[in-house]
């Protein structure tokens, strides 16, 4: 089927108390792996690309990959811009056909974050394309942005005002997760998540989920997270597959051979995380 937007996927998830997995893809094999894993489990799924991935190959290449993969299956697949770092990039993705846009103004002062988010919302909503924003800073290094040491968590009352003023569809919250590989076990402020949920009605998004224990992710979903982002572990899985193959067959020159193993590793990982999100069987297959 054609690519769908994330709007209904996440509202359905909110009603059904599950989450939809959002998986960062960096090449064709990863797109195939994620969509094939979701299809095997009859799950809705979100593909997403960060600005650095977009810079590597172009929005149009990734959109074309996602569209081709979605059209071969009967589950809902959405294509999302992750951490859009400017109004211009958000508009480029929107024009190319991305069906979901994140504008990340979390590095900016509150008023500037409100204003850039509202500008993207005002541009996307007439075409029914939903928008995700972030308030508070997720730690670690996501793409070219760096949360650095100044890493405040999302304030519930600020979150309420932010959503009311921007009319944003989904809100990414900072509750102690970080992008990249964790040094120890991450400690999340789950009470804060519940406090945000109590005053913010839109679906909430968890970033930095690679390395967060599955039970903690389930707890977050129970407290209002409807979209769960995984990136680092997909990179690790793909690289593991490729490097294992090349170690065993160092003479190989055919990229299809090692690409296929990278793809298999990503597929297995994504299948497991779809189960954690609780969205297996929620793919409402369509003709
Ligand atoms: P991880 O790299 O920690 O999985 O984070 C993914 C993410 O939040 C992408 O926006």
pLDDT at residue number 285: 52
Whether pTM exceeds 0.85: yes
Residue 14 CB less than 6 A away from ligand 1: no
| Residue 286 domain-assigned (yes or no) | no
Query: Does a structural domain hold residue 73?
Result: yes
Q: Is residue 1 assigned to a domain?
A: no
- Residue 122 counted as domain residue: yes
Q: Which tokens hold the place of 16?
A: 């059904």
pLDDT in tens, 116-159: 999 999 999 999 999 999 999 777 655 544 444 455 899 999 99
- The tens digit of pLDDT for each residue in 50-109 reads 999 999 999 999 999 999 999 999 999 999 999 999 999 999 999 999 999 999 999 999
Ligand 1: centre distance to CA 242 (Å): 21
208 CB near ligand 1 (under 6 Å): yes
Q: How far is the CA of 206 from the centre of ligand 1 (A)?
A: 9
Measure the CA–CA gap between 114 and 137, rounded to whole angstroms.
Answer: 15
For residue 191, is it within any domain? Answer: yes
What's the domain range around 250? 7-277
Q: How far, CA to CA in Å, does 220 sit from each of 124, 136, 192, 193, 212?
A: 28, 17, 11, 8, 11
- Closest of 96, 15, 4, 103 to residue 45, by C-alpha: 4
- The alpha helices in the chain, defined as continuous H runs, are 6-16, 28-40, 51-57, 59-71, 87-96, 110-124, 156-166, 190-199, 214-222, 232-248, 255-277
> Which two structure tokens, joined as six digits, stand for 97?
């056909």
| Total number of domains in the chain | 1
- Asked whether 207 lines ligand 1 (CB < 6 A), one says yes
Whether 287 is in a domain gets the answer: no
For residue 143, what pLDDT is reported? 53
Q: What is the mean pLDDT of residues 165-185?
A: 94
- Chain-wide mean pLDDT for the chain? 94
Q: Helices 110-124 and 156-166 meet at what angle, rounded to 10? A: 40
Ligand 1 centre to CA of 251 (Å) is 34
Regarding the beta carbon of 24 and ligand 1, being less than 6 Å apart is answered: yes
CATH of the domain at 271: 3.20.20.70
- In sign, the C-alpha dihedral spanning 141, 143, 144, 145 is negative
Query: Could you give the CA distance from residue 61 to residue 79 in angstroms, rounded to a whole number?
Result: 12
Residues with a catalytic annotation lie at: 82
Of ligand 1's atoms, which has the minimum distance to the CA of residue 233? 4
Could you tell me if residue 93 is inside a domain? yes
Asked if the structure places residue 245 within a domain, the reply is yes
Cβ 235 under 6 angstroms from ligand 1: no
CA of 228 to the centre of ligand 1 (A): 9
Amino acid 147: pLDDT: 43
């Amino acid at each position: 089927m054609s690519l769908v937007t994330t709007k209904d996927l996440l509202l359905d998830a909110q009603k059904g108390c599950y989450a939809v997995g959002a998986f960062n893809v960096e090449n064709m094999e990863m797109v195939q792996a994620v969509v094939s894993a979701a299809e095997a489990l009859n799950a809705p799924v979100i593909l997403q690309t960060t600005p650095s991935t977009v810079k590597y190959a172009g929005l149009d290449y990734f959109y074309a990959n996602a569209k081709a993969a979605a059209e071969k299956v009967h589950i809902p697949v959405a294509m999302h811009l992750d951490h859009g770092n400017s109004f211009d990039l958000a508009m480029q993705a929107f024009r190319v056909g991305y069906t979901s846009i994140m504008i990340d103004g979390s590095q900016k002062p509150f008023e500037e974050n409100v204003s850039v988010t509202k500008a993207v919302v005002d541009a996307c909503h007439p075409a029914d394309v939903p928008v995700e924003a972030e308030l508070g800073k997720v730690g670690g290094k996501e793409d070219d942005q760096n949360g650095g040491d100044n890493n405040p968590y999302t304030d519930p009352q600020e979150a309420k005002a932010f959503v009311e003023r921007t009319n944003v569809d989904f809100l990414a919250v900072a509750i102690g997760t970080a992008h990249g590989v964790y040094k120890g076990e991450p400690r999340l402020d789950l009470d804060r998540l519940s406090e945000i949920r109590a005053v913010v009605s839109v679906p909430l998004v968890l970033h930095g989920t690679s390395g967060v224990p599955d039970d903690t992710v389930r707890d977050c979903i129970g407290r209002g997270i409807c979209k769960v982002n995984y990136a680092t572990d997909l990179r690790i899985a793909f690289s593991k597959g490729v490097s294992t193959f090349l170690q065993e067959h160092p003479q190989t020159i055919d990229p299809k051979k090692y690409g296929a193993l990278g793809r298999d590793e990503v597929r297995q990982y994504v299948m497991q995380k779809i189960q954690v999100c609780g969205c297996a069987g929620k793919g409402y297959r369509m003709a």
